[in-house]
Chains A and B, each alone.
Chain A
Amino acid sequence: MSSEIEAIQDPGLPEHKLRQTDIDPKAADRAERQVAILFLLSAASTVLFIYSYFFIPTDTFLFIPLFGDHNAHQLFLGLGLAFSLLFIGLGAVHWAKTLMPDHEVIAHRHEFRSSDSDREEFVKTAKEGAASAGLGRRSLIKRSLGLSIGLVGLSPILLLRDLGPTPGDDLKTTSWKAGTRLVTDPGDRPIRPEDLEVGAVAQTLPELAPGKDHHTLNDIAKDAVLLIRLRPEEFNLDAERLSWTHEGLIAFSKICSHMGCAVALYEQTTKHLLCPCHQSTFDVTRAAKVIFGPSARSLPQLAITVDSEGYLIAQQPFTEPVGPSFWGRKA
C-alpha cells in the first residue's frame, strides 16, 4: 500500500460488554434454573423413550392431521430420543452463552515457515543421510529397488483377477433361440396372439429351459422382452422388420439400450416407449427408433411368429446384443 494514501484506521477490539447474568446475581440464578430445566426435559424425554420401547405396541397407529397415519411406537420412540438429545444440547449452549466467561481472547499467529537455519540444516541432514546410504552413488541398488517395488505393486492388482470371469460372449447372448416360446412374466404361461388386444402390452420372458424352475435375475437382465400389439397398418417398417412382426404384434428387448433400465412406460396414444430413468423415448411403429433422450440406439427387436400349436415363438435369437453399449459390442 502506497504511503501517500492514508487508510482508515483499525479502531481495535471493541470493549467487552457485560451480560445481564454478569452483573445481576438474580439473572444468573435464573439462567442456572433455565439450564437445569432444559437438562430435566432431556431426562423426561429419555423416560418417554424407555416407556415407548416397552409399552407402546409396535402395531399401534396414530392418526395425525395433515400427516396421516403414523406408527405410534416408532414415532414416540423417535421423539423421545430426539428430545433427550436436543435438550442436552440446548442446555449446554444456553449454559455457555449465559454463565460461562465470554471474554474474547487474542492469540497470536506465527508464520508456518521454518527459520532459514532450520531449513538449511534439514536439507543438510537429508542429503547426508541419503549420501551415507549411498543412494546417489550406488545406482545398481537404486534401480533394482525401483524395479522390485514397482513389481511388488502389481501383486495386489493381480490378486484381484479372480473377482470375476471375463465377459466372453456373455454380453452378446441371451436365452432366446429360434423357436423359444414367449411366456408371461409373471406366470410363465405361453401366449397366443389373440391373448393381446390391439393397444395392449405384455412383459414376457423366454420359456424356461428343461430342468430350470425359475428365471434368475441374470437371465431377466438380458431376456426381458416387451410384447406390444398395434394395428398392422400402423407399422412403418422395412420389409425385413415387418416380417419380424406377427399380426400387429411386435417384440422388443425391455432392457434400455442406454443404461439398462427397464423400459417400462408405454404410451398407448403415441405408441412411444419411455425409459423412466433417463427419458430415452422410442417409437414402436418405427422399430423402437430413438426419438428423444440420451440413448443412441433403437431397442433390439425380437423376430416373432407362431408355432404349430399357435403359441408365439422367437423366429431367431436377437441379432444384436441387448442392453447398454460396451466397447466390443460390434466386434
Chain B
Amino acid sequence: MSARERIAGNVASYVDDRTGAAGWMKKNLQKVFPDHWSFMLGEIALYSFVILLLSGTFLTFWFDPSMREVIYEGSYVPLQGVEMSAAYASALDISFEVRGGLLMRQIHHWSALIFMAAIVVHLMRVYFTGAFRKPREFNWILGIGLLTLGIVEGFLGYSLPDDLLSGTGIRIAEAIIQAIPVIGSYLSYFAFGGGFPGIAFIPRIYTLHILLLPGIFLALITVHLMLVWYQKHTQYPGPGRTEKNVVGYPLLPMYMAKAGGFFFIVFGVTALLGAVASINPIWLYGPYTPGQVSAGSQPDWYMGWLDGLVRMAPPIEPVIFGYTLSLNILLPGLIIPGILFTGMALYPFIEQWITGDKREHHLLDRPRNAPNRTALGVMSLTFMIIALINGGNDIIATNFDLSINQIMWFSRIAIFVLPPLAFIITKRLCLSLQRADRDLVLHGRETGRLVMMPSGEFVEVHEQISPEKAWLLTQHEQNQPLELAESDLRGVRRPGLLKSKLRKRLAVAHAVQVPKPNLSDLKELDHH
C-alpha cells in the first residue's frame, strides 16, 4: 500500500467512524444516471445558478445599494459631473474602475438570461415527455415555483443599477402594485417607503435579491435535486429500458466527469459571452429620472411576454361606485399570469383526473404519443410567443419599417386565434407521426431502390427496420379513455353530472390515437 493510499484510507475511516457514511456512499457512488442530451437542460440551470452566486458575490463587494444622490466623478467622461444615485455611480465604477468588474457584471447578466432560458427549456422537456407524472408531481410544482422566483429575482436584479431603463421598469412595477383594488396605493407606499421613487426601494430589493430570494432558491433547488436523486431519473424508452429499471452510467466515474466537465463548459461559454457580447450597457442609459425615458425600452426576455400582454390590453378602466378598477393593468399584469401559472402548476393533477391513471411512470413519452398534451403545450407556447413578440413591437416596427398599430392589432387578434389553431395543427401532426411510425413498422423503410418486375412494373424495395427500432416505435401503452358511468347501479343519475360529462369528453379527446401495430398485423401482412 502506497503512502498516499494509507493517508486516504485513514481520512476515510476517520470520517466513517463518526458518520457511518461508507455504506451510503458505496451505494450512491454506483448510482445510475440515464444519458440524454435533454437531461442536461436542468444541469445548465443548476450550473448557471452557481455562476450567479459566484459572480453576484463579487459584485456585492463594490455595489452600493443606496439612492443617496452623488455627483459622478469616475472615469466615464460623458457622465462626469452628473447627479445620480450612489447605486448607479457604483455600478458605473464596477464597469470602469474595477478590473474585471465589467466582465463580472456581464457574466452575471448573461448567466441570468441563460438560467431563465434553461429553466424554461427544461420545463418544456419535462412537460412534453410527461416526466411530471406520478411520482414526480411535487418536483413539477417545485419547478414552477423556481421559474416564478427566477422571474422575480431577475427583475429585481436588473432593477438594482438604477439606470434610466431599470428605473422605468420599477415605475411599471409600481403602477401594477398601485392598480391592485382597495389596498394598491397603500402597498405601493409601504414598498417604496412613500411616494415613487423615494429613497428606500433599491436598498430593500437589494436585500431581497442577494439574501432572501437566493436563500429560498437554494432551499428549493436542494429539495428539487434530492427528489431527483431519491426518485431516480426518468429515462427515454428503448430496448432494455422498462418502468422497473434505470439504464445508464454510474455516478463514478463517468457521470461525475461528464457533469463536472459540463459545469466548466457552461461557465466557460457564459464567460465567453461576458467577454465578447455587451449586455445592459448602463452607462449609455444615464441615471434614472421619472421625467425621461429612452425609446425602445425593453425588459429582459423572460419579462417580455408580460410587457407584451400589458401593451395589447384593451383600455378598460371602469369606475365602480366611485372607485377605479384598472382592468387594463390588472388583467395582463396579474390576472392572466396568475391563471397561466396556476394552471401550469396544477397540470399533472388535471391530466391524472382526465386519464384516471394512478400508476407510477418512469419511462418518458414520445411527445407524438400524447397528442393532446403536446398540442396543449404548443398552444401555450404560441400564446407566450405572441405576447413576447408584442412586447418587442416597437423594436419590430422600427427595424422592419412597420406600423406599430398594425402589429398591435395583429397581436390582439392573433392571441385569440393562433393558440387554438396551433392546438389543432399540433394534434393532427402528432397523429400523422403516429401513422408514419405505424407504416414504418409494418412496411419497413423506403430504400430508394427501384426494381423492375418481370411484368414491367416498377416497385420500390422496402427494408424491415431493426427490432430495436420496431420496439421503440411500439413500446408505448395505448389506453382506452376512462369509462365513467352516468348513473349508478340502480339507475340513479350521479351527482355532478356536468363535471363527469366534461371529464368524459376530455378523456375521449385525450385518448385519440392511431392504433400501434402488433405482431398479428405483421403476420397478416406476410400473407399478402
Contacts and interface: CB of A to CB of B under 8 A. Distances in A.
Interface of A: 1, 5-14, 53, 58, 67, 70-71, 73-75, 77-79, 81-93, 95-97, 100-102, 104-109, 111-112, 160-161, 163-167, 170-171, 185, 203, 205, 214, 217-218, 220-222, 224, 254-255, 258-262, 264-265, 275-280, 290, 292-297, 323-331
B428 interface: no
Interface residues of B, number: 119
Given A164-B191, A167-B185, A327-B181, A262 B254 contact: no
9 contacts: A77-B100, A82-B272, A86-B264, A86-B272, A105-B32, A107-B246, A163-B200, A261-B171, A331-B322
A112 B31 CA distance: 17
Contact of B198 (A74, A205, A218, A278): A218
Contact of B328 (A6, A171, A258): A258
Contacts of B186: 166-167
A18 B344 CA distance: 44
Contact of B323 (A12, A111, A292, A330): A330
Contacts, number: 329
A330 to B, nearest CB: 5
Contact of B324 (A163, A255, A280, A325): A325
A164 to B, nearest CB: 4
B245 interface: yes
Contacts of A70: 276
A41 B180 CA distance: 57
A70 B291 CA distance: 33
B214 interface: no
Nearest to A296: B317
B247 A13 contact: yes
B477 interface: yes
A13 to B, nearest CB: 3
A104 B247 contact: yes
Given A6-B520, A218-B198, A279-B311, A77 B103 contact: yes
B245 A109 contact: yes
A218 B248 contact: no
Contacts of B197: 217-218, 221
A6 B185 contact: no
Contacts of B314: 294
Contacts of A111: 360
Contact of B264 (A85, A261, A264): A85
Contact of B184 (A75, A161, A170, A326): A326
The 8 A-B pairs at the shortest CB distance, nearest first, are namely A78-B275, A86-B268, A92-B261, A13-B240, A89-B264, A296-B317, A89-B265, A259-B175
Nearest to B164: A262
A89 B519 contact: no
Interface of B: 30-32, 83, 96, 99-100, 102-103, 106, 135, 168, 171-172, 174-176, 178-186, 188-198, 200, 231-232, 239-250, 253-254, 257-258, 260-269, 271-272, 274-276, 288-297, 307, 310-317, 319, 322-326, 328-329, 332, 360, 362, 393-394, 404-405, 408, 441, 467-468, 470-471, 474-475, 477, 517-520, 522
A89 B262 contact: yes
Contact of B185 (A218, A220, A275, A327): A327
A147 B188 CA distance: 30
A89 B323 contact: no
B241 to A, nearest CB: 8
A183 to B, nearest CB: 13
A95 B106 CA distance: 31
B467 A11 contact: yes
A278 B311 contact: yes
A325 B178 contact: yes
Given A85-B265, A86-B268, A331-B323, 10 more contacts: A14-B240, A75-B275, A77-B99, A90-B265, A96-B254, A105-B32, A109-B232, A220-B291, A327-B183, A329-B324
B291 A96 contact: no
Contacts of B263: 89
A277 B168 contact: yes
Contact of A106 (B247, B296, B405, B474): B247
A8 B195 contact: no
Given A86-B272, A92-B258, A325-B324, A295 B291 contact: no
A60 to B, nearest CB: 13
Contact of A82 (B168, B248, B268): B268
